[in-house]
Structure 1
């Protein structure tokens, strides 16, 4: 059937005008639009990449399912960082070339199409909807997937996207909410797709939270079974490896097994050196803690600066973005105002709500200090 057409307001060329305005301000643009990490890749990751540059999985073909060392590292990480024993819940693993390709191809790899429905939050990462449209299935948005009554009786629901912590809002679903989603989805034979890419970036008013966001494969959530569940995770933010395209899925082997077969045939394989780098990143928990502290400091500075400028900004529950209501009621008016100060956010329309702005903290400390100065002047 091939890819179907899609439509989306998610087009970065739409903010080019505001980028030009911001770039003309003395000192240049402070770009808080795209969430692209700027901090150093951990030394442990760089060393592992270099050591494996001429390894067996570099000059030869690596395994689509990941090397035995990577698969064990992923199991160890789930156990230590997420409180999940993949073997006990019967989950399998599949590395992906970044999380975006997994998200965008998900509905197609699940064989969804005309007549099928994929539920997602109304305010969310745009690629969920784009991926559903590419498959030919229909997108249905709800305010909160945890309100299962809003979608469980809709005819044709085959999958439900959840994202906790959310991009862009930072909202975190608790274990009880996730368990309710799982029960409802299983009652209608639908798959739960849980994007948990920011799970280790959770916040309290005083600093990083002690616990990550709950996992869809947590035994309290999944009742000891991965049936009908897929968890997605990325190393892009926790270890600054966006350019490494290093991510993975864990969940129902009856779903991931066929996906693995397709990926073998079309060559969607993480390179051997990057797999070795992933092993190092998963083990280097100290560097993850350092990065968490960086994001918390930047979020705190940005919250205070936006408040001083008249925004009702609060620390998110998780993630690395601030989601704030525009002062004038329309994101594009605020885009103009902030661009005149040399600050470039993302318009909330990209994420489903044109009354808000999203501001990323994936900038250096110096740039965040510059943002604070501009908003306070």
Structure 2
């Protein structure tokens, strides 16, 4: 093991294998609610676009085709209410972008990357890959006058908590960062899945007024369009920063395949399939939320996104074990930071049949 890999944390889902084995032994099979991977079909309009573009013998453009760049910019203008001149860039899903973005932006040893106190593990991984120090904080004032801060991650709607950051908070973060020359990156992969709150993009005119200096937003088609298998994501925001990222990605060969680029154009141009998928998730959410509450769980935040952030006010691994004995696999809060040790994350990404099975099993009394 080299120094770089030894500096990384254990891959979280490897630690879940014992619980997964217990859940898989259930007589009616496992209900895996631990990972937010889509289970519904890729919409036909997207599959057709992929097939039509499959004769692609040449190298694709790292920057994306003109059609894709226009589709991304148009979608950000419509759905994120961004009226300014945007830099845009397709990426190979969003996880690789999150993991490599600090490095691509020149963050390195001696620098600090700020991540939310409870958050997606890859923010920390990306900072460590760059050799930077990581600070977990939801409070800007707690950071003090630390001039080493180079990049701050925000995530709304949050994975795992489903919390939505209000416009006032987003404006405050952007203002704080600009005063200090810090880059703000907002992970907005769940922005299309607001339930009890309407998520606002950091690119929204209410936040930036069309000035994206020092601001980037990360988006994904994995959840809204069931394209996790296509690895289809994109970046939008400060044109200068996007050009900087593009320049490095050209050298590194980080290119979205041409057929996937065509599929992304189709996905971004059609909101009908998004509404249909939202309706599926809404029904599954209602079923799971009701079953969890009836069985003694409290639901925290969870006003948007693809998860329910649930607690029995006990150590998260104890809750994982209780659920595993009923054939239900959940993600322990410990995966998302020390402040999340008493919660579990319940994904909405299971078939209707499996969600109904989970609800039936949750109706069984929990033994102490």
- Give me the TM-score of the superposition, normalised by structure 1: 0.92
- Which contiguous aligned blocks of 4+ residues in structure 1 show a shift greater than 6 angstroms? none
User: Contact between 2:161 and 2:301, CA under 8 Å: does it hold in 1?
Assistant: no
The structural deviation recorded for 1:9 is 4.9
Matched with 1:287 is: 273
Q: Distance in 2 between matches of 1:334 and 1:279?
A: 42
User: Contact between 1:96 and 1:269, CA under 8 Å: does it hold in 2?
Assistant: yes
User: Contact between 1:216 and 1:231, CA under 8 Å: does it hold in 2?
Assistant: yes
User: Contact between 2:184 and 2:214, CA under 8 Å: does it hold in 1?
Assistant: yes
2:81 to 47, 66, 83: 83
Distance 1:5 1:186, change over 3 A: farther
Q: Distance in 1 between matches of 2:301 and 2:286?
A: 7
Matched with 1:238 is: 224
Q: Distance in 2 between matches of 1:152 and 1:214?
A: 27
1:351 equivalenced with 2:336 (yes/no): yes
Report the RMSD for the aligned CA atoms in angstroms.
1.5
Matched with 2:68 is: 70
Deviations 1:130-155 (A, max 9, x none): 1001111100011x2xx321225233
1:139 equivalenced with 2:159 (yes/no): no
User: Contact between 1:152 and 1:184, CA under 8 Å: does it hold in 2?
Assistant: no
Deviations 1:3-56 (A, max 9, x none): 5743325421211111111111111110000111101100100010111111xx
Matched with 1:310 is: 296
Q: Distance in 1 between matches of 2:326 and 2:244?
A: 51
Q: Distance in 2 between matches of 1:258 and 1:344?
A: 41
The structural deviation recorded for 1:175 is 1.3
2:122 to 115, 127, 146: 127
1:331 equivalenced with 2:306 (yes/no): no
> How do 1:85-100 and structure 2 match up within 5 A?
85=83, 88=84, 90-100=85-95
Matched with 2:355 is: 368
The structural deviation recorded for 1:218 is 1.4
Deviations 1:79-138 (A, max 9, x none): 2211112xx2x3211110000011000111111112111111110000000100111110
User: Contact between 1:348 and 1:354, CA under 8 Å: does it hold in 2?
Assistant: yes
1:45 equivalenced with 2:42 (yes/no): no
Matched with 2:18 is: 17
The structural deviation recorded for 1:266 is 1.7
Q: Distance in 1 between matches of 2:330 and 2:145?
A: 38
Q: Distance in 2 between matches of 1:67 and 1:24?
A: 48
Q: Distance in 2 between matches of 1:276 and 1:202?
A: 27
User: Contact between 2:284 and 2:355, CA under 8 Å: does it hold in 1?
Assistant: yes
Q: Distance in 1 between matches of 2:95 and 2:144?
A: 26
Q: Structure 1: where are the runs of 5+ without partners?
A: none
- Give me the TM-score of the superposition, normalised by structure 2: 0.95
3-state secondary structure, aligned to 2:355: helix
Q: Structure 2: where are the runs of 5+ without partners?
A: none
3-state secondary structure, aligned to 1:313: strand
User: Contact between 1:35 and 1:360, CA under 8 Å: does it hold in 2?
Assistant: yes
